[in-house]
Structure 1
């Protein structure tokens, strides 16, 4: 297993210079001596005290994992601003990740497309700017704010959305903000696939629901989830199938049941 590359010294200098601070000024804010800060920033302190690393991370509103393992100078300006606003905590703080992006010459974020053949590599490269740079990318006018990507779907579990549709989705920064049964692309770890489901956040994980009633709900643990992308639109050469007479009847029965419950 390859050793994890550590970027503490590069990140510390990058963050300090980004704020246009001297070593003396930052050292005073952190409660360090300038000599200690310089030793960490120059790499002379090979193994900084854990409390010092945590203190630096808290000062810059970052997760310690991000400060150590993500080369911040490679991230886009929008992502850096999000981090600086204190947005580097996902859900309960146990699932920490920084999303790399690519930008067009006009500094607008690209929409990256993740083809089927790139799925396996995506799990390892979702935070790697070099990996993302090699993906197909495009721009769509009039998208709302946020980071968007397009993912392919396989199978019929989300009918009436046609099989093999391309799902355009927006990155979910805070999983707790999702309303029950929100349509999402969920990126799972290990040998699991990308899934397109209705997502509900529960105490024990994510409940995943298929619109096709032939498929049962199931729950995945938070620890198995890398990313969640909220559905925005789908693109397909196929038209959704019209509702059958039976489906229309079932829909009307459900509406009637809902009205009866409200009137109880």
Structure 2
């Protein structure tokens, strides 16, 4: 394997020191240095971490000889990486149309959500699914509705249906915005997303603070849908704002004072 020399070349192209690289990868400095100097070989977990950091496939990292690369080679491998990031390597999006040949919003039933990652490219997967019609959705965009499990994203509760807009170009993802992600290992995930600059991963954040944020490699992602709205059979509990309550009390006190004053001096 050329992995040690390849890592060194990639680091230098990024203009990073070994100290910076080891910190950003979460590795011990001596461990990282050992990789570059071919004293030790990274395990599979660290190979995956390094390949994701540089936006490369594991195959490219361990099988190619970057010392022989010319600028054209670098440009080609960069374009391939960007294509993966934008979702160009995804399977074709299957969709359902009505009798007027207009696309409909497929509602993924809860029982079918577990198999969605395997069947989403097959049009027959959606044939018997219910559909949804909302007048404010654009006819120029593709939407789909997904069931939500768990309590990690309040006010969206267990059993709610979340409607998402299909996103083809993943470079358009915006931080702190909710997305529905279809992933290889976790299935359908609904989270706020933070774009991890300089790496090929996303940080997924729950609105329920009891759930810690975690990192998801872009290589795990199959589809991305931007949150549009949700449908729920329950009304979220309303917690009044403390400042709003204080203001309301102050207004009430002012009204009481005014009434008392009017009673004391009815001629005014």
Normalised to the residue count of structure 2, the TM-score between the two structures is 0.55
Query: Which of 153, 161, 164 is 1:158 aligned to?
Result: 153
Judged with a 3 Å threshold, the aligned counterparts in structure 2 of structure 1 residues 175 and 244 are, in CA distance, closer, same or farther, namely: same
Asked whether 1:171 is paired with 2:158, we answer no
Cα root mean square deviation, aligned: 2.3
What are the within-5 Å matches in structure 2 for residues 192-211 of structure 1? 192-202=186-196, 203-211=199-207
Higher relative contact order (CA 8 A, sep 6+): 2
Map of 2:179 onto structure 1: 184
Query: Which of 203, 210, 216 is 1:214 aligned to?
Result: 210
Deviations 1:155-181 (A, max 9, x none): 111112233211011111111101111
Q: Distance in 1 between matches of 2:175 and 2:223?
A: 17
Asked whether 1:118 is paired with 2:112, we answer yes
Q: Distance in 2 between matches of 1:196 and 1:142?
A: 22
Deviations 1:138-192 (A, max 9, x none): 33323123111111111111112233211011111111101111111111113x1
- Where structure 1 has 5 or more consecutive residues not aligned to the other structure, the ranges are 1-88, 250-264
Q: Could you say which structure has the larger radius of gyration?
A: 2
Map of 1:99 onto structure 2: 93
- Match of 1:96, SS? coil
Map of 2:238 onto structure 1: 242
Shift of 1:198: 0.4
Asked if the contact 1:110–1:137 (Cα under 8 Å) also holds between the matched residues in 2, the reply is yes
Shift of 1:133: 1.6
Normalised to the residue count of structure 1, the TM-score between the two structures is 0.56
Asked if the contact 2:87–2:169 (Cα under 8 Å) also holds between the matched residues in 1, the reply is no
Name segments (4+ residues, structure 1) moved above 6 Å. Answer: 246-249
Asked whether 1:108 is paired with 2:102, we answer yes
Asked if the contact 1:109–1:147 (Cα under 8 Å) also holds between the matched residues in 2, the reply is yes
Judged with a 3 Å threshold, the aligned counterparts in structure 2 of structure 1 residues 248 and 176 are, in CA distance, closer, same or farther, namely: farther
Between 195-204 and 226-235, the greater mean CA deviation after superposition: 195-204
Map of 1:136 onto structure 2: 130
Shift of 1:237: 1.3
Asked if the contact 1:112–1:136 (Cα under 8 Å) also holds between the matched residues in 2, the reply is yes
